[in-house]
Structure 1
Amino acid sequence: MASTLPWELLRTFLGVLREGSLSGAARTLGLTQPTVGRHVAALEQALGQPLFTRSSTGLLPTEAARGLRGYAEQMETAAAALQRAATARDEGVHGTVRVTASEVVGVEVLAPVFADLRKRHPGVVLELALSNQLQDLLRREADIAVRMTAPEQGQLIARRVGDIELGFFARPDYLDRQGRPATLAELRGHTLIGFDTVTPFIRAGAKRLGGITRETFSVRCDSDLAQLALLRAGAGIGVCQVPLAAREPALERLLADQFSWPLQTWVAMHEDLRQNAACRVVFDALVEALSRHVAAA
């Protein structure tokens, strides 16, 4: 076996493990498929054993590959830490900061925060990655994350800014036509706007919905932004953040005494970035803005 293994080969190895194919890894890593294939072959030659077997569904890792995964991920984390440490040595408030948040928080809450940050710190380049999927801060998929669950990774700096409450809302003109439900059971006689895909988050909060399931919804969509737009358009009754609805005189809350879903809200970043001036500025701005957002309910 070779005395040293180039990190690029191990990075490609992890990409193939996660994607299950050469083409998928190529897209994720920004490489060509032949390059990914060469990297895998070179690593197999260096280790003296096969790492993947072909199947009808893609590439399956061998037992040797599964055993190596943890070590490769440790190297990946170390490489990301090295990059963070190098970036942290920059002087002044400049550099690139990548923030991840849910769609609705990114568009409805963070957009004005980014605008203000650019005015005050023109040397900071901001990236906003909107997704309801958790991004891994240890692998530096983002520098800072706004999360609705408590971070569990020990190497993160996390600040809880409070709870964002969810409630049922609709436009008054819809309610004037269809009536105002007095109980959760009466919601079933209305046009309900809700999710299409049952996620672990939805399953965890299913009891709060009082027996409402996917089949109950007349309008289904997994985009929080689209659901908000449907509420604003008067399409029916749906769930909305209470602080967002407080800005909307055209939205009326329903059944507040029967349905309330508080979401813990956190801002988190990797501890290695605490000395990075740009990350500190953005982190503090997000904490301040989200604290105001929570208090606006």
Structure 2
Amino acid sequence: MNKPDWTHIRAFLATADAGTLSAAARQLNLTQPTLSRQVSALEESLGVMLFERLGRRLALTDAGRELLPHGRKMLEGADGLCLAASAQAQSIEGTIRITASDMMSAFVLPPVLQILRQQAPRLSIDIVAANDIRDLMRREADIAIRHVRPDQPELITRLVQEATAHFYAAPSYLARRGQPGSLAALSSHEFVNFGDIQRSIEFLAPLGVHLTPDNFRIGSNSGLAAWELVRQGFGIGAMADDVVEHSSGVERLLTDQPPIRFPVWLTTHRELHSSRRIRLVYDLLAEFFAAK
């Protein structure tokens, strides 16, 4: 039996209390599919079924009822730990600089930044919306969130999420060019360039999407500007699903295709071991992405 993840135990407790996945997901500020995966992961690690479906509600199995009080004791202990840590966090002050892409900065980070403000109200937060890891190397940021793992030995790096993406387009574009019926059919469509055409071509080729620079007639090195071009019907864009959850005006293409998967790396300096300020934010970001 694998050691259970606390995030999965918390999902189990919330689902047991709420009686439905949708209500528990709202309570934990998660999407329903994410919560369902966490509960399933706990069942797999424990080797038991925790719930059975009764109509629209979920009922605890015998195993679930037996494990519930143990889970509640863990929750009480965690609450006590958080209260003690909260007292420590309240005294943390100074400035923390987090660098992430402009898309992640605008669409993904705000919820965790709200939590950070509550836990450390005396801490100032500066978001460096950029795509260059050298921001971290030049000490222009304390923590970097990137999709490519840096290889500098003086940095501490942790894989915190395997994110997913799909192809999206605006209804106006689809009305003009039609729905692509397959990955191969995408080669005849227009794409919006997000700053590096050759890198996009090389990334999509193994997926069976064979593009040339002629597919990219418009774009921007600003992710926000490029995404707006997609929303305005200029072409197709591959975008992270957690970004689209907070956006609008686009449709997912090729819904029967598996998602594009890519890593999310959390990186900081070795100062992590000696700075309470960096440790607090680093751990909070790691928990946030692991729960998604």
- Relative to the length of structure 2, the TM-score reads 0.60
Instruction: Give the match for residue 223 of structure 1.
Output: 222
Report the CA distance between 1:259 and its aligned residue. Answer: 7.3
Report the CA distance between 1:122 and its aligned residue. Answer: 2.0
1:27-106 alignment runs, 5 A limit: 92-106=91-105
Q: Which runs of 5+ in 2 are unaligned?
A: 1-89
Q: Given the alignment, which residue of 181, 200, 205 partners 2:203? A: 205
Instruction: Give the match for residue 144 of structure 1.
Output: 143
> What is the alpha-carbon distance in structure 2 between the residues aligned to residue 137 and residue 249 of structure 1?
32
Report the CA distance between 1:155 and its aligned residue. Answer: 3.1
Please give the root-mean-square deviation of Cα atoms over the aligned residues, in Å.
2.7
Deviations 1:255-290 (A, max 9, x none): 355574322111111122323121112112222333
Instruction: Give the match for residue 169 of structure 1.
Output: 168
Instruction: Give the match for residue 273 of structure 1.
Output: 272
224-233 vs 170-179, greater mean Cα deviation = 170-179
Report the CA distance between 1:101 and its aligned residue. Answer: 1.0
Instruction: Give the match for residue 116 of structure 1.
Output: 115
1:180-195 alignment runs, 5 A limit: 180-195=179-194
Describe the SS at the equivalent of 2:173: helix
Moved over 3 A (4+): 136-139, 188-191, 195-199, 201-204, 246-250, 256-261
Aligned length: 202
Describe the SS at the equivalent of 1:152: coil
Seen in structure 2, the aligned counterparts of structure 1 residues 249 and 196 have a Cα distance that, compared at 3 Å, is closer
Report the CA distance between 1:117 and its aligned residue. Answer: 2.0
> What is the alpha-carbon distance in structure 2 between the residues aligned to residue 270 and residue 186 of structure 1?
44
Describe the SS at the equivalent of 1:205: helix
Instruction: Give the match for residue 157 of structure 2.
Output: 158
Q: Which runs of 5+ in 1 are unaligned?
A: 1-90
- Tell me if structure 2 keeps the 8 A contact 1:100–1:135: no
> What is the alpha-carbon distance in structure 2 between the residues aligned to residue 138 and residue 220 of structure 1?
28
> What is the alpha-carbon distance in structure 1 between the residues aligned to residue 195 and residue 155 of structure 2?
32
Describe the SS at the equivalent of 1:236: coil
> What is the alpha-carbon distance in structure 2 between the residues aligned to residue 189 and residue 149 of structure 1?
29
Seen in structure 2, the aligned counterparts of structure 1 residues 140 and 248 have a Cα distance that, compared at 3 Å, is closer
- Tell me if structure 2 keeps the 8 A contact 1:109–1:290: no
Seen in structure 2, the aligned counterparts of structure 1 residues 205 and 234 have a Cα distance that, compared at 3 Å, is same
Structure label with greater radius of gyration: 1
Instruction: Give me the identity figure in percent.
Output: 34
